[in-house]
Structure 1
């Protein structure tokens, strides 16, 4: 089988998570500067078999697009140009950053470690991907 990759794209940083080849377990891969996302993915896709990419879709509480939507739409346009044959699925990313921060607290990370925004982004991408996998199994 192939992997599924999840992207939590942000203005400054992008969290990335990936499944194992059996698409059972989601693991954090890395956090990268957002401007390097296409270059990073080009290298990653050349080494790994990825069949689908999940891209977080930020929404407000009322379901309307958030203020960061235009930035993510631009990234998706660039992504489609760079990887025209890759399947993309948008996934609601509401609360993933809050859940990531809560996960860090529950896992016993010290306050200094919890201030690492790159780690928050990577965990948020992992939560987004694991939630997708859980819904897929139901």
Structure 2
């Protein structure tokens, strides 16, 4: 008996920030979400184009920041501008949004639970990368 797994591309998640952006990806079978890196937001599109030139990406998942009353957060204005640029620069990859409420708090708690020191927990880039991973896990769990 032969088991055939259709080749799929990765899912890539973005925790968008005005200064830094956390990025997470799945494996090719879209089973495991892992933090990839944090990049300066000013070079985000260039980073994504380079990554996509080397890896197959089926979908980009971007956090949707909301306030407790379900209203859009202030950062949504910047994300909308980024989405327009992304659609123009990388139109071939579909984009989906995922509610990202609590991901920063959950990322910080994850860092505490995994035994990281206070100094390591102050690493905002690591928080952004973990937040992107949580956004990706949330998307995968909903599918």
Counterpart for residue 17 of structure 2: 10
| C-alpha displacement of 1:42 | 0.6
How far apart, in 2, do the equivalents of 1:131 and 1:57 lie?
A: 12
Counterpart for residue 127 of structure 1: 134
| C-alpha displacement of 1:135 | 1.7
Pick from 23, 48, 53 the counterpart of residue 60 of structure 2.
53
| C-alpha displacement of 1:90 | 0.7
In structure 2, stretches of 5+ residues that fail to align are 1-7
Tell me the TM-score normalized by structure 2.
0.94
* 2:116 paired with 1:70: no
RMSD value, Cα: 0.5
How far apart, in 2, do the equivalents of 1:116 and 1:57 lie?
A: 23
| C-alpha displacement of 1:107 | 0.3
* 2:113 paired with 1:117: no
Count of paired positions: 136
Secondary structure, aligned partner of 1:80: helix
TM alignment of 1:20-99, pairs within 5 A: 20-99=27-106
How far apart, in 1, do the equivalents of 2:114 and 2:131 lie?
A: 15
How far apart, in 2, do the equivalents of 1:31 and 1:85 lie?
A: 23
| C-alpha displacement of 1:87 | 0.4
Tell me the TM-score normalized by structure 1.
0.97
**Deviation string for 1:50-103 (max 9, x for gaps)?**
010001110000000001111010011110000112100011111000000000
| C-alpha displacement of 1:49 | 0.3
Rg larger for: 2
